[in-house]
Amino acid sequence: MQARVDYLAKLANEGALSPDEDAEYEALIDGADLIAILKLKARRVLAA
């Protein structure tokens, strides 16, 4: 999965993403952001 994200990021930086790749990349980034937020909230709950 990380290799795919890295590949899409490279294409994005070059401005070479197709519309389908752009949608996939955005979905992967949104998912990673959601996971990061949930992990932060879980750490706060566990620390309390």
Residue 24 in tokens: 């996939």
Contacts 24+ apart (CB under 8 A), 23-32: 28/1, 28/4, 32/5
Give the C-alpha distances (Å, rounded to integers) separating 35 from 4, 10, 28, 41: 18, 22, 11, 10
Based on the structure, what is the number of domains in the chain? 1
Number of H-type helices and E-type strands within the chain: 2, 0
Supply the range of the domain harboring residue 28: 2-47
Question: The whole model's pTM is what?
Answer: 0.83
Residue 24 CA neighbour count, 13 Å, CB half: 14
Q: What is the pLDDT of residues 4-47, one digit of tens each?
A: 999 999 999 999 999 999 999 999 999 999 999 999 999 999 99
